[in-house]
Amino acid sequence: NEKLAGKVALVTGGSRGIGAATALRLAAEGADVALTYVNSAGLAEEIAERIKAGGTRALPIRADSAQPDEVEAAVEATVAEFGRIDIVVNNAGVFTTGALDDLDVEDFDKAFAVNVRAPFVTVRTAARHLEQGGRVINIGSNVGERVPFPGFSIYSATKAALIGMTKALARELGQRGITVNMVSPGPTDTDANPAGGPMAAVLTGHTALGRFGQPEDVAAAVAYLASDDAGNLAGATINVDGGFNI
Ligand code: NDP
């Protein structure tokens, strides 16, 4: 399967979880992949080695999404290394939750910096290089649309903001033949939300399928949106949530 042969992708937060699965999937479809991380240098290097073993190029980049200059530099490093950029996956995110009294303004600012401002800066920078057929895929969340539990004042606000930004960017870039869409995961087994965690039974109870998703489930939807097959989707959201939000 070489649907993405010759394409260059940048995946933010590609060292673990959904981002790592996405980096590996895009590479398996033929793309060269740059992946950012903030702390997990070793894990990012491991993902890069697995990509290279599969026959495409890989570039791990340390770039803190909370720092706009580092985000911008990561995009430019991708273009410098691979000569182009075709696919941007805004995946890095912080899962900031808690009761109102346990959350402060610093939590709010950090979450918006990573989950909302960084995707804006990434796309603004990448848009200078993206060509016809370019793809932007934002990773949202099921709780960006519906919020069935307390504790999500900040996190849900960031993901709802990303829905609006996805639509606005789809308008902004659509005339250039660049699509912007979103994949919104439901409960997905990662370090941020382990299938064995304290909330697991409650979360799976809300799904139609009665189970946690795997990072690979989300990666498959990203790969579809990145492909030529998805050329007529703009500003759309694919919910990969086991039916959590139906
Ligand atoms: P993980 O916590 O498992 O992984 C997070 C990834 O993002 C890591 O690669 C991490 O890098 C990176 N990252 C975190 N903060 C920064 C930062 N400041 N700068 C750069 N990279 C950063 O998360 P998930 O895989 O679970 O989540 C990925 C996305 O999916 C997020 O946007 C999340 O909101 C969304 N999502 C997840 C759901 C779930 O159930 N898991 C449900 C709905 C949405 P490092 O390893 O260096 O820390």
Give the residue, by CA position, lying nearest to ligand 1 atom 39.
Answer: 188
Q: How far is the CA of 83 from the centre of ligand 1 (A)?
A: 27
User: Helices (H), strands (E): how many in the chain?
Assistant: 8, 7
Q: One-letter amino acid identity for 147?
A: V
The Cα-based distances of 106 to 37, 65, 102, 113, 230 in angstroms read 21, 15, 11, 10, 38
Catalytic residue among 82, 155, 212, 244: 155
Full-model pTM: 0.98
Q: Say yes or no: ipTM exceeds 0.90.
A: yes
- Find how far residue 17's CA is from the centre of its chain: 10
Is 37 assigned a catalytic role? no
In one-letter notation, the amino acid at residue 23 is A
Domain 8-237 classification at class level: alpha beta
| Sheet of 179-185, strands arranged across | 58-62, 32-37, 8-11, 87-90, 135-139, 179-185, 237-240
Measured distance CA(47)–CA(34) in Å, rounded? 10
Contact 240, 213 (CB under 8 A): yes
Mean pLDDT by 10 residues, the chain (246 residues): 94 98 98 98 98 98 98 98 99 98 98 99 98 98 96 98 98 98 98 92 95 98 98 98 96
